[in-house]
Chain A
Amino acid sequence: MRIFGPWWVVTAAVLACVPAEAGKRPYIWSFGTETVPEGVVELEQWMWSKSRVPASPTSRAVNWLWWAPVFGVSQHLEVAVPFQVRAGAGRPTELESFELDARLRLKPRTSQDPFQLTFRGAWHQPTSGGQRRVDVNLISSWTFDNGAQLLLDVGGLVAVSGASVVGTVDLAGSLPLTDELRAGVELFSEVPLRGPAGVTPHPFVGPSLEWTRGRFWVTAGVLVGLTPLFPQTPHFMPRLMWAVVL
């Protein structure tokens, strides 16, 4: 019989309060169709990077920190108020922007329909000289009885000035590994619709892993740019997201 050491005690104390709950967001790019339950507030934070574009000698890697409280307003609506801090690209670290981000489910959260549709709209307000922008997404998902999910997310990033419009397409699938663990894969591309000439789409593909435990979930993944085919695509776009329910 061994003596119960302090290391175990600490570990046990940490683990004792975190059993499983349903997954929130298995993908690192698409928001998915899930929302937080009504009356619930989550604090969510992302850290993500975009590596340099090999083809462009002037491009630099950029890092973002995204932070927001997320409010479950009703069975249909979820609202987040994020801000973003940007670092890298040869510039000092700065507060880059505020956003107002709303996600509206067509069916209430209590609905158990396999097909779900969510509309996302966000106002992007830069603080340092960037363009004001509206993001829109239409997200649809189909969940199978075994928990597997297919997702299609079509959206656009529309500059308020009208100078540029970038379309986004995200095709994703995920599979529950255990009650708490879910693996996903995403195929994502930005498609320039209006703007400077010569800009090609930036397609990425990459895996993600989501782990949920009690009031806490974390999703990590990396999108790998299809740079060989589209040289203007950054090599990697890793993102780590985590959130805790208040």
Chain B
Amino acid sequence: MGRRSLILLLALLPVAAAAGGPSLAGKVSLFRRGEDGSRERAQDASEVLVYVTGFEAPAPGGLAPRMEQRDKAFIPAVLPVVKGQSVEFVNMDALLHNVFSPSPAAAAPGRKMDLGKYKGPGRVVSYEFKRTGLVDLYCDIHESMRATVVVLPNPVFTFARRDGSFEFPRDLGSRQAAQALEAHLQQAGRIKVFAWAKGARAPASVELEVKPGVALPPLVMELEMQPERGTHDDKHGRPYSTHPPGYGE
């Protein structure tokens, strides 16, 4: 949380420079549905990822996205990256951890993603995500470790604020992203915006027509989370319960 706030603050500078371009703002309402079927509005919508599709643009240079394994958890649990970016998986625990994914989006031809087992603290293993899509990540040793890498086609994305609002290009992390958005808006005449959060029943999306000189209306989107469910096997397809006791502790 703190780290992302810092990034957001730093992002304000380049965004201000590009302020002349069209702006895209809106608000996502996040609802949670309980096991009993109740539906109530979430106080914190900062887990909602907002992104634009329809064009590809490279990731801005700089630091590679990082996902840490810390206290037997992937941090962050949801990591948006741009197609072609490598993610650094950093094991901060003095434990063996593994990263594997059954998702085809992460697989190399003929081979699924598996980073092997390595011990921290501080070991880094990189992996490049070459296709767009959702990539579920697990640890073969610790069943509870789960994360999702969202491989996006371009860097135009952000997490919503606590109240669910977002504003492009202000919330974008880099000048390149803002420029890419601007270029896309000028070129395409249409724009498709998605909002998604892990555990959402379905993503929300809005498609808008873009007319030069006409300000885009604020977007209103709604997401509904559903109770978490589902199990997964280890990378060999066995349930974790078959692991010997104490394994990986």
CB of A143 within 8 A of CB of B117, answer no
17 extra interchain contacts, Cβ-Cβ under 8 A, other than A72-B116, A112-B130, A143-B108? A17-B238, A18-B236, A19-B236, A19-B237, A21-B236, A34-B111, A37-B116, A37-B117, A38-B116, A39-B96, A39-B98, A39-B117, A75-B116, A109-B116, A145-B109, A147-B110, A214-B236
A1-32: which residues lie under 8 A (CB-CB) from chain B?
Answer: 17-23
Residue of A nearest to B98 (CB): A39
Alpha-carbon distance between A114 and B111 when the two chains are bound, in angstroms:
12
Does B235 interact with chain A (Cβ within 8 Å)?
A: yes
Does A121 interact with chain B (Cβ within 8 Å)?
A: no
CB of B238 within 8 A of CB of A214, answer yes
Does B75 interact with chain A (Cβ within 8 Å)?
A: no
CB of B236 within 8 A of CB of A23, answer no
Does B205 interact with chain A (Cβ within 8 Å)?
A: no
CB of B110 within 8 A of CB of A23, answer yes
With both chains docked as a complex, state the minimum distance between the C-beta of B161 and any C-beta of chain A, in angstroms: 35
A23 partner residues in chain B, CB cutoff 8 A = 110-111
A106-129: which residues lie under 8 A (CB-CB) from chain B?
Answer: 108-110, 112, 114
B108 partner residues in chain A, CB cutoff 8 A = 112, 143
With both chains docked as a complex, state the minimum distance between the C-beta of A35 and any C-beta of chain B, in angstroms: 10
Partner of B125, one of A34, A75, A147: A75
20 of the cross-chain contacts (CB-CB < 8 Å) are A17-B237, A20-B237, A21-B112, A21-B237, A23-B111, A37-B114, A38-B117, A39-B98, A39-B116, A72-B116, A75-B116, A108-B125, A110-B125, A110-B127, A110-B128, A112-B108, A146-B109, A147-B110, A149-B110, A214-B237
Partner of B110, one of A39, A75, A143: A143
With both chains docked as a complex, state the minimum distance between the C-beta of A73 and any C-beta of chain B, in angstroms: 10
Does A160 interact with chain B (Cβ within 8 Å)?
A: no
B242 partner residues in chain A, CB cutoff 8 A = 17
Interface bracket on B: 20 to 34
Residue of A nearest to B141 (CB): A39
Residue of B nearest to A176 (CB): B110
CB of B115 within 8 A of CB of A37, answer yes
Does A199 interact with chain B (Cβ within 8 Å)?
A: no
B194 partner residues in chain A, CB cutoff 8 A = none
CB of A112 within 8 A of CB of B128, answer yes
With both chains docked as a complex, state the minimum distance between the C-beta of A59 and any C-beta of chain B, in angstroms: 39
With both chains docked as a complex, state the minimum distance between the C-beta of A218 and any C-beta of chain B, in angstroms: 15
Alpha-carbon distance between A215 and B118 when the two chains are bound, in angstroms:
19
B82-137: which residues lie under 8 A (CB-CB) from chain A?
Answer: 96, 98, 107-112, 114-119, 125-128, 130
B110 partner residues in chain A, CB cutoff 8 A = 22-23, 143, 147, 149, 176, 182
B176-227: which residues lie under 8 A (CB-CB) from chain A?
Answer: none
Does A40 interact with chain B (Cβ within 8 Å)?
A: yes
Q: State whether A110 and B126 are in contact (beta carbons under 8 Å apart), knowing that A37-B117, A38-B118, A144-B109 are contacts in the complex.
A: yes
Alpha-carbon distance between A39 and B111 when the two chains are bound, in angstroms:
18
B111 partner residues in chain A, CB cutoff 8 A = 22-23, 34
Does B233 interact with chain A (Cβ within 8 Å)?
A: yes
Does A55 interact with chain B (Cβ within 8 Å)?
A: no
Q: What 1/0 flags go to B150-184 for Cβ under 8 Å of A?
A: 00000000000000000000000000000000000
A204-228: which residues lie under 8 A (CB-CB) from chain B?
Answer: 214-215
Central interface residue in A17, A110, A144, A145, by most chain B CB within 10 Å = A110
Does A89 interact with chain B (Cβ within 8 Å)?
A: no
Alpha-carbon distance between A33 and B36 when the two chains are bound, in angstroms:
53
Q: State whether A39 and B118 are in contact (beta carbons under 8 Å apart), knowing that A21-B112, A21-B235, A146-B109 are contacts in the complex.
A: yes
A182 partner residues in chain B, CB cutoff 8 A = 110
CB of B237 within 8 A of CB of A110, answer no
With both chains docked as a complex, state the minimum distance between the C-beta of A110 and any C-beta of chain B, in angstroms: 5
Question: Shortest 9 CB-CB distances between A and B: which pairs?
Answer: A39-B117, A19-B237, A38-B116, A37-B116, A22-B111, A147-B110, A112-B108, A214-B236, A215-B236
Alpha-carbon distance between A149 and B110 when the two chains are bound, in angstroms:
9
A139-188: which residues lie under 8 A (CB-CB) from chain B?
Answer: 143-147, 149, 176, 182
Alpha-carbon distance between A149 and B237 when the two chains are bound, in angstroms:
25
With both chains docked as a complex, state the minimum distance between the C-beta of B125 and any C-beta of chain A, in angstroms: 6
CB of A40 within 8 A of CB of B237, answer no
Alpha-carbon distance between A20 and B111 when the two chains are bound, in angstroms:
11
Alpha-carbon distance between A13 and B242 when the two chains are bound, in angstroms:
13
With both chains docked as a complex, state the minimum distance between the C-beta of B102 and any C-beta of chain A, in angstroms: 9
Residue of A nearest to B115 (CB): A110
Residue of B nearest to A18 (CB): B237
A215 partner residues in chain B, CB cutoff 8 A = 236, 238
